[in-house]
């Protein structure tokens, strides 16, 4: 893609990307199952988690078809992944909420489908217990 952004648009996009990357959980801060905090790159920079900038629309003169074509490459179903283990730390996807505000939780129960692959999990968060489909959960590596 050959997109052209103004200096202000490029700077804004780069600052937002930096904030998102530095707010992304790396691993649990402790092995305690009741701890819902995760280590982020922000901890190495400032000693605590960073808060990203609020989301806002950036108007650019880029063809929407070109933007969409970048999102089409999918490898989700071509690689085999291990089932979620009990007490694994997860990010729980919530619709209409930016990723920096998704809840952190721990898996308390994994429910397999007919093919023995885990399809649904029960997750304990600081707000209580939720049952989520596996595609709404991101497991943090330990």
Domains of the chain: which residue ranges?
7-70, 89-139
Question: Is the pTM value of this prediction over 0.85?
Answer: no
pLDDT of 18: 81
Rounded to whole angstroms, the Cα distance separating 28 from 106 reads 10
pLDDT of 41: 84
pLDDT of 56: 55
Report which secondary-structure segment, H or E, holds 41: helix 41-46
Q: Are 90 and 139 in contact (CB under 8 A)?
A: yes
Cβ neighbours around 88 below 10 Å, total: 19
Of the candidates 89, 90, 14, 26, which has an alpha carbon nearest to the alpha carbon of residue 52? Answer: 14
CA 36 to chain centre: 15
Rounded to whole angstroms, the Cα distance separating 14 from 37 reads 26
Per-residue pLDDT of the chain (142 residues; tens, 9 = 90+): 456 777 887 788 788 788 778 878 888 877 777 777 788 888 888 777 666 444 555 556 677 777 677 666 666 667 777 788 888 899 898 888 887 788 889 999 999 989 888 899 999 998 899 999 998 998 887 6
């Amino acid at each position: 893609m050959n997109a052209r952004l103004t200096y202000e648009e490029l700077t804004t996009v780069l600052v937002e990307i930096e904030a998102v990357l530095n707010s992304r959980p790396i691993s649990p801060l402790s092995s305690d199952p009741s701890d819902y905090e995760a280590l982020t790159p922000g901890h190495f920079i400032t000693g605590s988690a960073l808060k990203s900038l609020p989301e806002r629309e950036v108007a650019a003169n880029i063809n929407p078809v070109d933007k969409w074509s970048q999102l089409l490459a999918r490898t989700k179903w071509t690689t085999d992944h291990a089932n979620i283990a009990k007490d694994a730390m997860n990010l729980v996807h919530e619709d209409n909420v930016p990723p920096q505000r998704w809840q952190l939780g721990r898996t308390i129960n994994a429910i397999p489908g007919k093919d023995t692959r885990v399809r649904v999990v029960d997750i304990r968060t600081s707000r209580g217990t939720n049952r989520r489909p596996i595609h709404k959960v991101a497991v943090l590596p330990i």
